[in-house]
Structure 1
Amino acid sequence: AFQLRRSPGEVCFPGGKSEAADKDEIDTALREAKEEVGLPPEEVEVVCRLIPGLDKMNNLVTPVVGFIEDTFQATPNPDEVSDVFVVPLEYFLEPLKYTALHYKTSSGHRSRMHCFTYDDNERKTSFTIWGLTAHFAVFLALVIFGRRPTFEVDYDLDNLISSAEQNFMNLYASVQQEKKSNL
Structure 2
Amino acid sequence: MRRVEELLPGVTTVTPHARYYSLHAYVATVLSARDDLAPVDTLRRCEVVFAAVSILHARRFPDEHRGMAQAHGQDIISASMSDGELNVAKLAAARSYAQAKRGFLGPYLASERLLGLVTPGGELLHPGPNADARRLESAFEGLLDLALKDSIPCDVLEDYSSLCLCGRDARERGWLRSLMFPNQLMGEAAPP
TM-score (normalizing by structure 1): 0.29
**Which has the higher Rg, Structure 1 or Structure 2?**
1
More strand by proportion, 1 or 2? 1
TM-score (normalizing by structure 2): 0.28
